[in-house]
Amino acid sequence: MAKAERLVIKVGTSTLTYETGKINIRRLVKLCSVLADLHNSGREIVLVTSGAIGVGVGKLGLKERPKDIPGRQAAATVGQCELMFMYDKFFGENGVKTGQLLITKSDIENDKRRTNLENTFEKLFEYGAVPIVNENDSVATEEIVYGDNDSLSAIVARLIHADKLIILSDIDGLFDDNPTENPDARLIPVVEEITEEIEALCGGSGTDRGTGGMVTKIHAARITTEAGIPTVIMNGSDPQDIYKLIDGHCIGTLFVAK
């Protein structure tokens, strides 16, 4: 049998939640069903999910994202439970098992822990389970934190030698100008190389609920494309669009691997 195609899919807080901070169940259910289906087709799937802090804030009924670190870390513990409960339920309804991996930078930088992590991923693939990854927000301190899951998804993709990284965003991809300000801004379908001009197209952080934005996505694409992994940034509002991508349609922005 040919080697299974290995896909890392990253989903951000703004895609997973409503502005109320509560989970967008309709979207999450669809995402789980598409990924479970891709898993059933013989592919190896890893989901890198954000939303722990955002969902925790919503579930605890806090008025806003806490400004202090303990506040955010506590919110993450609550939100992470809720997220995994949902993922396990909706993957499970499609007959697919999940496993949770909470990672910090030091797990990647320390040789022994990185090897353990690689082995755990490989075992999960062997067991036919879908690894679901987030940063270990509740223990991570600033020194050991990636801080954004775009970078984390790229690091994971590189670690497990993924064939593709798909970053689901609340925007269609990379535009040649800010599409919220310029109605004539056009989507860039393919980026052959991440030049200074490309980097200059990225604004600041995305939404109040997440930490990303285009800057961290381009940073992620740099890590993956340098490791030979093609990377796509696309809109996650309809998770079924992932099928279009898999079927070879041009969707989002493709960053060509070196």
Task: Measure the CA–CA gap between 114 and 48, rounded to whole angstroms.
Answer: 17
Binding residues for ligand GLU, how many (CB under 6 A)?
16
Residue 212 interacts with ligand GLU (CB under 6 A): yes or no: yes
Task: Measure the CA–CA gap between 101 and 93, rounded to whole angstroms.
Answer: 21
> Binding ligand GLU by CB under 6 A: which of 27, 34, 39, 51?
51
Residue 54 interacts with ligand GLU (CB under 6 A): yes or no: yes
How does strand 231-235 pair with strand 190-191?
unpaired
One DSSP character per residue, 74-134 reads HHHHHHHHHHHHHHHHHHHHTT-EEEEEEE-HHHHHSHHHHHHHHHHHHHHHHHTEEEEEE
Residues 123 to 142: which contact ligand GLU by CB under 6 A?
Answer: 134-135, 137
**Minimum CB–partner distance for residue 53 and ligand GLU (Å):** 4
53 burial class (0-12, 13-18, 19+ CB within 10 angstroms)? buried
Residue 224 interacts with ligand GLU (CB under 6 A): yes or no: no
Residue 210 interacts with ligand GLU (CB under 6 A): yes or no: yes
Task: Measure the CA–CA gap between 120 and 252, rounded to whole angstroms.
Answer: 31
> Binding ligand GLU by CB under 6 A: which of 52, 84, 165, 191?
52
Which CB sits closer to ligand GLU, 52 or 130? 52
Is the Cβ–Cβ distance between 215 and 202 less than 8 Å?
A: yes
Residue whose pair of structure tokens reads 């809109």 in the numeric block: 235
**Minimum CB–partner distance for residue 23 and ligand GLU (Å):** 13
> Binding ligand GLU by CB under 6 A: which of 15, 98, 104, 211?
211
Residues 145 to 174: which contact ligand GLU by CB under 6 A?
Answer: 148-149
Residues that bind ligand GLU (CB under 6 A): 12-13, 50-54, 76, 134-135, 137, 148-149, 210-212
